[in-house]
Amino acid sequence: MTSIYYKKINEMKKVFIEGAIQPGFVAEAIAKHQSKKNIGAHNIFLGQIRADEVDGKQMNAITYSAYEEMAAEKLHEIREDAFAKFNLTCMHIYHSLGKVKAGELCFFVFVSSKRRKQVYQATEYLVNRVKSEVPIFGKEIFASKEFQWKVNV
Going from N- to C-terminal start, the domains of the chain cover 15-149
CATH class, domain 15-149, is: alpha beta
CB 91 within 8 A of CB 111: yes
Q: Specify whether the CB–CB gap between 92 and 17 falls below 8 A.
A: no
Q: Is the pLDDT of residue 24 over 50?
A: yes
Residues 8-18: pLDDT tens digits? Answer: 433 446 789 99
**CA pair distance 29, 105, nearest whole angstrom:** 15
Stated pTM of the model:
0.87
Q: Cα(145)–Cα(16) distance, rounded to whole angstroms?
A: 25
Residue 21 DSSP code: B
Instruction: Give yes or no for a contact between 59 and 50, defined as CB atoms under 8 angstroms apart.
Output: yes
Q: Is the pLDDT of residue 51 over 90?
A: yes
- CA–CA separation, 34 and 151 (whole Å): 37
pLDDT in tens, 57-78: 999 999 999 988 899 889 989 9
pLDDT band at 153 (very low <50, low <70, confident <90, very high): low
